């Protein structure tokens, strides 16, 4: 079977190729100056975001392959396998960016000269690996749906989007850390294609197995509280301090909005693209 260039996975793959970026080409000189000038509360708050993203990007890079293997076991999924190859490459790029930023901007080594910030949640230590590793034993469409909900809808579609909003809120007011800002923007662009693919996959699964609509709804509901409540963790160490003048409430509201938007996007019927 020739591959079909008109499918969403291959159209997104071409788009992604045109938008490829080099995580080593971003200028971080001003970031180093800006970081030193930040107050300690702001530094810990931002470091928590950066470390959270580094852990998250490592997690999604490490845990994506079982989905590709599950599709590989079926016949006729070449376009989706090809898209996931690009997604894996892009997730690797994101890991490189955050690691490089930490290596070159922080005035010392994390864990040695600079204490690790408080950890966040169990999405990358438990929830994501469990959903993805399950595919090795059970590559069924139902297990694929559980993986796609956790990976593409919850982690990429809600948690990461809250993270970008927090970054922009911290950085844009005073125009600080332009290298970090640039990398985050590139990553958000990549992630919007990943979410589009995940939405396509969930819709394709429902189209072929209508009973999986209930699985999609059940999985989303099972992760709702932890997803919407994830913003608690971002602010829990701040006590009364408001780093960058930020309060938690708008981000919790954003989490609720994003969560509902993901459900609407998948369930709006038919094989809807992006
Ligand atoms: Fe990523
Ligand atoms: Fe992604």
Confidence of residue 271 (pLDDT cuts 50, 70, 90): low
CA of 259 to the centre of ligand 2 (A): 17
Is residue 18 assigned to a domain? no
HSE-up (13 A, CA, CB side) for residue 160 = 29
Is residue 20 assigned to a domain? no
Whether the per-residue pLDDT at 214 is higher than 90: the answer is yes
CA of 240 to the centre of ligand 1 (A): 32
Is residue 21 assigned to a domain? no
CA distance 13 to 24: 22
CA of 60 to the centre of ligand 2 (A): 7
pLDDT the model gives residue 146: 98
Mean pLDDT of the chain: 94
Is residue 8 assigned to a domain? no
Farthest CA pair distance, the chain:
61
CA distance 50 to 52: 5
Fill in the DSSP letter of residue 110.
B
Who wins on pLDDT, 197 or 121? 197
pLDDT the model gives residue 274: 42
> Which ligand neighbours the alpha carbon of 57 most closely?
1
CA of 155 to the centre of ligand 2 (A): 8
CA distance 238 to 233: 10
CA of 158 to the centre of ligand 1 (A): 13
CA of 88 to the centre of ligand 2 (A): 8
**Per-chain residues with Cβ under 5 A from ion ligand 1:** 57, 91, 94
Fill in the DSSP letter of residue 155.
I
**Ramachandran category for residue 76: left, alpha or beta (phi over 0 → left; psi -120 to 50 → alpha):** left
CA distance 36 to 178: 14
Range of the domain at 81: 26-267
Q: Which two tokens stand for residue 34?
A: 């800006």
In the three-class reduction of DSSP (H, G, I as helix; E, B as strand; rest coil), residue 240 is classed as coil
Q: Which two tokens stand for residue 146?
A: 């559980």
HSE-up (13 A, CA, CB side) for residue 208 = 10
Dihedral angle, C-alpha 156, 162, 163, 165, nearest 10 °: 130
CA of 87 to the centre of ligand 2 (A): 7
Q: Which two tokens stand for residue 55?
A: 């852990």
**Ramachandran category for residue 7: left, alpha or beta (phi over 0 → left; psi -120 to 50 → alpha):** beta
For residues 85-95, average pLDDT: 98
Whether the per-residue pLDDT at 236 is higher than 80: the answer is no
For residues 92-105, average pLDDT: 98
Is residue 11 assigned to a domain? no
For residues 237-247, average pLDDT: 81
Is residue 7 assigned to a domain? no
pLDDT the model gives residue 268: 86
> Which ligand neighbours the alpha carbon of 155 most closely?
2
CATH code of 203's domain = 1.10.620.20
Is residue 5 assigned to a domain? no
pLDDT the model gives residue 270: 52
| Helices within 106-248 (DSSP H only) | 128-137, 141-148, 160-171, 178-208, 212-222, 224-228, 230-235
CA of 57 to the centre of ligand 2 (A): 8
Fill in the DSSP letter of residue 241.
-
For every residue of 84-100, DSSP letters joined together read HHHHHHHHHHHHHHHHH
CA of 64 to the centre of ligand 2 (A): 9
Is residue 14 assigned to a domain? no
Whether the per-residue pLDDT at 65 is higher than 80: the answer is yes
> Which ligand neighbours the alpha carbon of 23 most closely?
1
For residues 80-102, average pLDDT: 98
> Which ligand neighbours the alpha carbon of 157 most closely?
2
How confident is the model over 153-186, as pLDDT tens digits?
999 999 999 999 999 999 999 999 999 999 999 9
Q: Of all residues in the chain, what percent carry a pLDDT higher than 90?
A: 85
pLDDT the model gives residue 115: 85
For residues 37-44, average pLDDT: 93
Whether the per-residue pLDDT at 104 is higher than 80: the answer is yes
Tell me how far the alpha carbon of residue 155 is from its chain's centroid.
Answer: 5
The total number of structural domains that make up the chain: 1
CA of 88 to the centre of ligand 1 (A): 9
């Amino acid at each position: 079977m020739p591959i079909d260039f008109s499918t969403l996975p291959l159209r997104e793959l071409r788009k992604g190729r045109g938008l490829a970026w080099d995580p080593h080409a971003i200028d971080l000189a001003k970031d180093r100056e800006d970081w030193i000038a930040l107050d300690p509360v702001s530094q810990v708050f931002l470091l928590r975001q950066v470390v959270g993203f580094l852990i998250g990007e490592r997690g999604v890079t490490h845990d994506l392959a079982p989905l590709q293997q599950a599709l590989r076991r079926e016949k006729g999924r070449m376009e989706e396998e090809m898209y996931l190859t690009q997604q894996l490459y892009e997730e690797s790029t994101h890991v490189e960016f955050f690691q490089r930023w930490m290596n070159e901007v922080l005035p010392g080594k994390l864990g040695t000269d600079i204490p690790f910030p408080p950890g966040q949640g169990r999405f990358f230590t438990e929830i994501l690996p469990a959903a993805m590793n399950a595919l090795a034993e059970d590559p069924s469409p139902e297990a694929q749906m559980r993986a796609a909900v956790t990976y593409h809808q919850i982690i990429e579609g809600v948690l990461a989007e809250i993270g970008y909003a927090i970054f922009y809120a911290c950085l844009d007011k005073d125009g600080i850390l332009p290298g970090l800002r640039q990398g985050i923007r590139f990553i958000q662009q990549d992630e919007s294609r990943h979410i589009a693919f995940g939405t396509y996959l969930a819709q394709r699964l429902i189209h072929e197995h209508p009973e999986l609509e209930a699985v999609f709804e059940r999985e989303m509901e099972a992760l709702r509280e932890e997803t919407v409540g994830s913003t608690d963790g971002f602010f829990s160490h701040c006590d009364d301090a408001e780093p960058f003048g930020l309060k938690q409430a708008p981000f919790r509201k954003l989490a609720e909005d994003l969560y509902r938007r993901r459900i609407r996007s998948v369930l709006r019927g038919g094989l809807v693209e992006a």
